[in-house]
Amino acid sequence: MTAKARRRPARQIVMLIYPNAHLLDVAGPMSLFAAANDFAGFVAYEVSLAALEPGLIATSAGLKLLATRRAGPVVTGVDTLLVSGGIGVDAAMRERKLVGWLRRQAPHCRRVASVCSGALLLAETGLLQGRRAVTHWERCDRLAADYPGIKVERDPIFIRDGKFYSSAGVSAGMDLALALIEEDLGTDVVAALAREFVLYMRRSGGQTQFSPALKAQSTQPGRIAGLQQWILGNLHRPLSIEELAAQIAMSPRHFARRFTQEAGMTPAAFVAAARVDAARQALASGAENIEHVAARLGFGSAERLRRSFQRHLAVTPSQFRTHFQTSGAA
């Protein structure tokens, strides 16, 4: 970091909350911004919470958070405005004063971002009209139906469209926060934060918000869902279309069509994602070398594992392991 950057005034990071906001939507990203100061070596951020009325605001977990800012007057100096999600978002959307403040305040901020279902509150302002956005997968259909002018993308963990950012379910807000911090402070600070918080790494926004295990859980009960669980336990096998179809007594053609309809992705894409996810967990533990992981999980070679990692995670296995290994982290 240059001396000029060190002299820069702290960026004001403000999150809008309301009754029954999701605790992790707030605490996750804000904890990362606050902790970034320790790794930057200077006060890069000052974090605070805003609400319709300042004071203690009860989250859906029952814990209360202190909002020190009033979501009323438009103020200058807010660098990044975040909008929390949670089961209270529907009531918040009916608070016209809150929606009006968000609409007026956003133009005065360098960045505006929503976490999880906070995208619905941001959408209510009209500021996302004509833009790409994502939210928690359970809310994507509603976002698309209620706000047809928004280009809703259901898969990414976060999206940037101009100065507006949106993220998928809950923990994706931490991935978004890491991306914002990386924009400001660089990769070294983000790598240190990931180690400190025992996060895998900064996941790119293009990564899916569905892990293979979650895909399997969200598939309707039946033969396809059962096969997905079988795949997760048999990644060492070739897992060709023919083998998978035979497992549930279907023709390969009918199986491929049925799997894609029910799982939302092709069999090959599911297998590839499952292998990468399992390899990521294995490499994070540090117990196996890359060649052994590749052989055990059906990649065939370390080179194929490397290509799969770069395609899905935008890093090599070695880079991933280096990022994840602790360096004095708690």
- The C-alpha atoms of residue 208 and residue 20 are separated, in whole angstroms, by 27
116 among known catalytic residues: yes
Per DSSP, what are the bridge partners of residue 16? 50, 83
DSSP-derived 3-state class of residue 328:
coil
Per DSSP, what are the bridge partners of residue 167? 158
Q: Which of 32, 92, 116, 294 is catalytic?
A: 116
Contact 157, 4 (CB under 8 A): no
Which secondary-structure segment (H or E) carries 22? none
Both structure tokens of 301 = 């070679």
Both structure tokens of 295 = 């052989």
Question: What's the full length of the chain, in residues?
Answer: 330
- The C-alpha atoms of residue 212 and residue 229 are separated, in whole angstroms, by 9
Radius of gyration of the chain (CA): 22
DSSP 132: E
Tally the C-alpha atoms within 13 A of residue 156's C-alpha that lie toward its C-beta. 19
- The C-alpha atoms of residue 171 and residue 22 are separated, in whole angstroms, by 11
For the chain, give percent helix, strand, coil, nearest 5.
Answer: 50, 15, 35
CA nearest to 320, candidates 296, 285, 291: 285
- The C-alpha atoms of residue 272 and residue 282 are separated, in whole angstroms, by 15
- The C-alpha atoms of residue 117 and residue 88 are separated, in whole angstroms, by 10
Rounded to whole angstroms, the maximal C-alpha distance in the chain is 67
- The C-alpha atoms of residue 184 and residue 22 are separated, in whole angstroms, by 26
Residues annotated as catalytic are: 116
